[in-house]
Chain A
Amino acid sequence: MHIPDGFLDVKSCITTGVLGVGTVAYSLRRTKVSLARPEVPKIALIGAFIFAAQMLNFPIAGATSGHFLGGAMASILFGPAVAVVIMSAVLIIQALIFQDGGLTVLGANIVCTGVIGSYVGYGVYRAGIVLLRGRATKVVSFAAAWCSIVAASCGVALLLAWSGTFPLGVALKTMAGWHSLIGIGEGLITAMVVAYLMERNVAFENLPSSSKKGASAT
């Protein structure tokens, strides 16, 4: 759901542009605090995977297609701050090199598919893990990804309405409607990749409490 140039008015472009720059800066700072070096190639590879998967439009009802977005998957794997960095990199390269998503609406795309997608996905995942006490992680990942897509599409709908492109009620209904179908694909891919790339935290389960992560030295 990359917004092209021309769908949003000047005030939404500027507002989301400022919001986008702000959240990316914040996410980079959070990433700097938490990132360990062995994660670097994994993060780069997941960014590449998300780009590749976004190319693969799959058909849904009525001569319409949808594609994976990946914010929920990235945030489940690496946390929401890294996910925002990954998603922003994907969106910037798509807009700059591939003409997918406009330049004036880059902030809007980062806010919707990057920030909303990542944080909603992460929130639902964490809530599901706590509620189900770590059971049924595939179902939880699926739900997190589905919610992230629908929430991101509602964000786009709000911006379309705010720009006067489209009345709010219809915008929300149609965007959420189509993306609740696309969300099924998002959920399936997310659940598969997360199940493949994540494992039980053995270090936490087996080590005595004396060897807890000592993060005192910076």
Chain B
Amino acid sequence: MSQQQPVEVVTNKKRRWLVMAIVTVVAAGVISYFASPHPDGLERVAENHGFIDQAKTPSWTAWIPDYEVPGIKSPILKVGLAGVIGVAALFGVLYALTRPLARRREADNHGKGDHHPS
């Protein structure tokens, strides 16, 4: 049941993907500083019902705990830099992971590369 005839497909307009890229970097690099510091839904439930203290934070792998790059004074910079590092890490990891999985052809019917004699 692979979607035989999707009503809508992901756009190929480069401009829209460029806008997404800019939104992504600005969101992670700048707007992230203005995010709400309040506990999220699960933390709220855990606080209200007295099991928030069960949470443990293992720190041995976390280079950038709580989205703040250690050793930077400016609060907006340390959050923004953490965001940009995360964005770059995700782009890189997903690109490296999915690229070998993808088939080589560009599109099905455009037939530029295939050489049928007749």
Measuring CB to CB, which residues of chain A are less than 8 angstroms from any residue of chain B?
1-7, 28, 31-32, 34-53, 55-59, 62-67, 77-79, 82, 85-86, 89-90, 93-94, 96-100, 102-103, 129, 134, 137, 153, 156, 165-166, 170-171, 174-175, 178-179, 181-182, 193, 196-201, 203-204, 207, 211, 213-215
Output the least CB separation between B27 and chain A (Å): 4
B75 interfacial by beta-carbon distance below 8 Å: no
Q: Cβ of A102 and Cβ of B36 under 8 Å apart? A: no
Q: How far is the CA of A62 from the CA of B16 in the complex (A)?
A: 37
Q: Cβ of A44 and Cβ of B42 under 8 Å apart? A: no
Contacts of A43 in B (CB 8 A): 94, 98
Measuring CB to CB, which residues of chain B are less than 8 angstroms from any residue of chain A?
2-3, 5-12, 16-17, 19-21, 23-25, 27-28, 31-32, 35-42, 44-46, 48-49, 51, 54-59, 61-67, 82-83, 85-95, 97-99, 101-109
Q: Cβ of A38 and Cβ of B20 under 8 Å apart? A: no
Q: Cβ of B83 and Cβ of A52 under 8 Å apart? A: yes
Output the least CB separation between A191 and chain B (Å): 13
Residue of A nearest to B100 (CB): A32
Total number of residue pairs linking A and B with CB closer than 8 Å = 248
Pick from A35, A64, A103, A201: contact of B102, CB below 8 A.
A35
Q: Cβ of A66 and Cβ of B41 under 8 Å apart? A: yes
Contacts of A41 in B (CB 8 A): 17, 95
Residue of B nearest to A199 (CB): B11
Q: Cβ of B67 and Cβ of A98 under 8 Å apart? A: yes
Contacts of A93 in B (CB 8 A): 86, 89-90, 93
Output the least CB separation between A167 and chain B (Å): 9
